[in-house]
Amino acid sequence: MEQFQSAYQEEKERLDRTLDEVEARLRELRSIPVYTGHDFTEQILESGREAQRQQLEKSVREPYFGRLDFEERGKEASPLYIGKVGVADADGRKPLIIDWRAPVASLFYSFTGGDSAAYEAPEGLIEGLVYLKRNIVIRKGILERVVDTFNKDSEGPAVSDEFLVYRLGENKDNRLRDIVSTIQAEQDLIIRAAKNTALIIQGVAGSGKTTVALHRLAFLLYQYKEQIKAERMVIFAPNHMFIDYISEVLPELGVGDIQQSTFGDWAARVLGLEEAPTDGADTLTRWFDRGEPNGERPDDEALPGRYKGALAFQAVLDRYLERIESGCVPDGDFEPWDGNRLPRETILQWFEGEYKHYPAARRKERVLARIHRWIEMELKKSPSPTALKERKKKAQQREKAYAKKWPELEAAALYKNLFLTFGGKKGDGSDGEIVSAIPAGIYKETRDYLKKGQVKDEDLAAMLYLHSRIQEIEGNLTFDHVVIDEAQDFSPFQVAVLDRFVKGHSFTILGDLSQGIHYYKGVRTWEEMQALFAPQETAYFALTRSYRSTMEIIEFANEILKKGVGTDLLAVPVFRSGEPVKLKPAVGEERLAAISEALDQVLAGTHRTVALLTRTMSEAEELHRDLMDQGRDVHLIDGDQRQYAGGISVLPVYLSKGLEFDAVLVTDVDRSRYGPQDARLLYVGCTRALHELWLMHGDQLPEYVPDKVSADV
Ligand SMILES: Nc1ncnc2c1ncn2[C@@H]1O[C@H](COP(=O)(O)OP(=O)(O)OP(=O)(O)O)[C@@H](O)[C@H]1O
């Protein structure tokens, strides 16, 4: 106790000194009049001052969150204070506060006990001893908590989880938060991994994948500030509500301007489509909403999403493009007027020889422009003004007609052509042979909807591929780094296409195969993704510790994984105990009353966010109506939302992916609703809960749901 008080006192004094200094600096900066003139150099200086002002304002509220006493070999031990933003001391020589992304700060995260410690610095490996690792909670400039997670002089465990458990026990509001004060060693490795590597991360539910990806973006921007720009980084997320849910982490880490998009929105922008095709209601209903267990599992090959996401489809497109390109130059010489001709040989030589380094659309443009110039030169040789006039008129018509004979080198048109015209009747001649590599059912289905002018989400990778092959990828469309969240729902072809837009294979690809509920697309193994890159360009990490839920919830969800999904990728809980998982009958006429009662009990606690997860969308709508009729303030989430409001939400379980709630009630957990193929779906639902999980069930629990948890409530 005495030791604790002296630690508190020591930190309080240190905080007062730090705040005095930071405030003095802020006053000084504020005293400089804001520059509003037109001098460019002055403007740059002013924007630098403004950024500093904003950083210092943040520092005044929460200057740092950690302290590490480190003795570098051959030097004196000194306490390092680590914060979200670095601040230099008054003469600018020594850091008063160290940015969490600085090399030395990595020790704060990677140190897990032992007699020596080391970190990688630009000048090489720095070795030394750690004496103290201390977590410090400061809110609005007031010291609230001091917790030592390592003390060389004490007899406690090497590095304790006490502070982490305290943080995880807090209730959550409607936004994901940063975790700078408690990043774990296994997460830090990913955050600080080198830029030009395609990182593939398998992480169990709640292992911090989304959070780690966001911190990695902030790290990359700090570490490679000369090479990369925030506007050239993107995070692909599954839907708009999820983007809203994660939107505060980056600004909180002092990083703005990073693009956040769905793959569909981005693809639509690049391709110039009016709107982004998504997994339409028909797809979602087919897979999730039939109100009965998902029994349908055709062969992978027969699933359009799987086929169109495979590299085999890319190979078909390659052959198709080869054929299109070799058939670009129309048959016959070009005759601007009778008696004059430009031989096809010459045109071919331009298209396939001189301009061969350009993509096809550019080559076509160049060749046509050159033909135009050739016509102008030829016209100059006209013997009389009358002849010139006549020739000019003829040439104009014929030039236009000739250009029309070229294929339209535009992605949407080319894609349509592949299914509607190319190869004539399927299977005819050598073009038909290319087309016949596409499974007949998929070919027909696609042909039918393309005819009606529709495009589906599953076609986007192919269309983007065609686009990137025939058109130049404009500089402003390339990325310095790409994050793909929920990557188990991405196809290898989607990633291969993205790779064409990314410099140096700089990817962070995160997902959880156990949460692959979009069976009709996505990957079955991470090797499918790894195979896209050379071994030295990619690295694989597995996150097995789960930080979101209590031990009780994780153990329960692990049972579902073991029995229902048959995987050994089980989650390891942090030692945080809570309420037992509750199993409550809610069926027939009693159903609504039982759900209401459970909800009342949950709300009697301190939870801020609660979700009721139904099996289908229509059930969510119905339950939402019923609860509204009871006068409750509940929000329905139906997939079209752009914002996540928090509070009490009702949603079908398949829309809950990526989100988390203090308490979760899953309704209608019954063998007739959750079949053997739906274990993943139920797993996703259960792992959304931080502190409390209730399963409202029918007469027969699915065989993979443990029934031996405390049911008395
Ligand atoms: N090191 C950490 N310290 C504190 N909290 C953490 C840490 N890592 C993760 N968390 C918390 O765990 C929760 C889960 O994180 P996140 O949503 O990033 O996980 P995920 O792996 O993307 O989950 P899922 O796949 O289930 O959607 C969040 O509340 C996050 O703040």
Q: pLDDT tens-digit profile of 669-705?
A: 999 889 888 899 999 999 999 999 999 999 899 999 9
First to last CA, the chain: 38
Q: Are 481 and 456 in contact (CB under 8 A)?
A: no
Question: Does the pLDDT value for residue 344 go beyond 50?
Answer: yes
Q: Is 649 annotated as a binding residue?
A: no
- Give the three-state DSSP class for 253: coil
- Cβ of 398 below 6 Å from ligand 1: no
Q: Please tell me the least confidently modeled range out of 88-92, 219-223, 375-379, 449-453.
A: 88-92
pLDDT: is 154 or 46 the higher one?
46
CA 443 to ligand 1 center in whole angstroms: 41
Q: What confidence tier does 157 reach under pLDDT thresholds 50, 70, 90?
A: low
Mean pLDDT of 356-373: 93
Residue written as token pair 């740092």: 64
Least trusted range by pLDDT, from 357-361, 421-425, 639-643: 421-425
Identity of residue 625: R
Average pLDDT score over residue span 497-508: 95
Ligand 1 and 547: CB distance under 6 A: yes
pLDDT of residue 260: 92
Question: 105: CA distance to ligand 1 center in Å?
Answer: 21
Q: Is the CB of 254 under 6 A from ligand 1?
A: no
Given the structure tokens 């982004």, which residue do they identify? 276
Question: Is 205 labelled as part of a ligand binding site?
Answer: yes
Reported as a pLDDT band with limits 50, 70 and 90, residue 228 is: very high
Q: Residue 103 burial (CB < 10 Å; 0-12/13-18/19+)?
A: middle
Residue 482 labeled ligand binder = no
Please say if the pLDDT value at position 411 is more than 70: yes
Asked which of 68-77, 513-522, 607-616 is least confident by mean pLDDT, the reply is: 513-522
Question: How confident is the model at residue 302, as a pLDDT?
Answer: 66
Q: Tell whether residue 475 is among the known ligand binding residues.
A: no
Amino acid at 384: S
Q: CB–CB of 409/470 below 8 Å?
A: yes
Determine if ligand 1 sits within 6 Å of the CB of residue 128: no
Shared fold status for 190-265+477-546 and 552-697: yes
Indicate the average pLDDT of the chain.
88
Task: Decide if the complex's ipTM is over 0.90.
Answer: yes
Q: Of the candidates 204, 271, 249, which has an alpha carbon nearest to the alpha carbon of residue 461? A: 271
The position carrying tokens 């997994």 is 279
Residue with tokens 């409530």: 713
Average confidence (pLDDT) over 102-127:
89
Cα of 623 vs centre of ligand 1, distance in Å, is 29
Please say if the pLDDT value at position 282 is more than 70. no
Q: Which residue, among 492, 524, 692, 496, has the nearest Cα to 605 in the 3D structure?
A: 692
Q: CB of 181 closer than 6 A to ligand 1?
A: no
Tell me if 564 is assigned to a ligand binding site. Answer: no
The per-residue pLDDT for 2 is 54
Give the span between the Cα atoms of 460 and 481, in whole angstroms: 21
Judge contact between 442 and 309, C-beta under 8 A: no
Q: Would you say 528 and 191 are in contact if contact means Cβ atoms under 8 Å apart?
A: no
Contact 68, 130 (CB under 8 A): yes
**Which phi and psi (to 5°) does residue 258 adopt?**
-75, 135
Whole-number Å distance, alpha carbon 547 to ligand 1 midpoint, is: 6
Please give the pLDDT value at position 109: 93
Topology at the third CATH level for domain 190-265+477-546: Rossmann fold (3.40.50)
Q: How far is the CA of 679 from the centre of ligand 1 (A)?
A: 22
How much is the average pLDDT of 303-332?
90
As a whole-number percent, the residues of the chain with pLDDT over 90 amount to 60
Ligand 1 binding pocket mutation candidate from 214, 512, 548, 608 (most atoms within 8 A of CB): 548
- Ligand 1 centroid to residue 550 C-alpha, Å: 12
User: Using a 6 Å cutoff on CB, does residue 167 contact ligand 1?
Assistant: yes
Closest to 410 measured CA to CA, from 214, 305, 586, 271: 271
Of all helices (H) and strands (E), which one includes residue 67?
strand 66-72
Cβ of 168 less than 6 Å from ligand 1: yes
- pLDDT interval class at 713 (50, 70, 90): very low
609 Cα distance to chain centroid: 23
12-19 mean pLDDT? 94
206 lines ligand 1 (CB under 6 A): yes
Task: Tell me the pLDDT band of 711, cut-offs 50, 70 and 90.
Answer: very low
**Confidence grade of residue 291 (pLDDT, cut at 50, 70, 90):** very low
Please give the average per-residue pLDDT across 594-598, as a whole number.
Answer: 95
Q: Higher pLDDT residue, 284 or 391?
A: 391
Asked if residues 267 and 464 have their Cβ atoms less than 8 Å apart, the reply is: yes
Greater pLDDT, 85 or 92: 85
Would the pLDDT of 366 be above 90?
Answer: yes
Fold of domain 552-697: Rossmann fold (3.40.50)
User: What are the sequence ranges of the domains in the chain?
Assistant: 1-188, 190-265+477-546, 329-397, 552-697
- Asked if 480 and 503 count as a contact pair (C-beta separation under 8 A), the reply is yes
Report residue 536 as tokens.
């030295």
- Please tell me whether residue 440 adopts helix, strand or coil conformation: helix
Annotated binding-site residue? 210: yes
Q: 531: CA distance to ligand 1 center in Å?
A: 28
Mean pLDDT of the region 628-642: 89
CA nearest neighbour of 553 among 210, 209, 241, 204 = 204
Q: Is 204 annotated as a binding residue?
A: yes
55 lines ligand 1 (CB under 6 A): no
Residue listed under structure tokens 């909800």 = 599
What's the CA-to-centroid distance between 33 and ligand 1, angstroms? 43
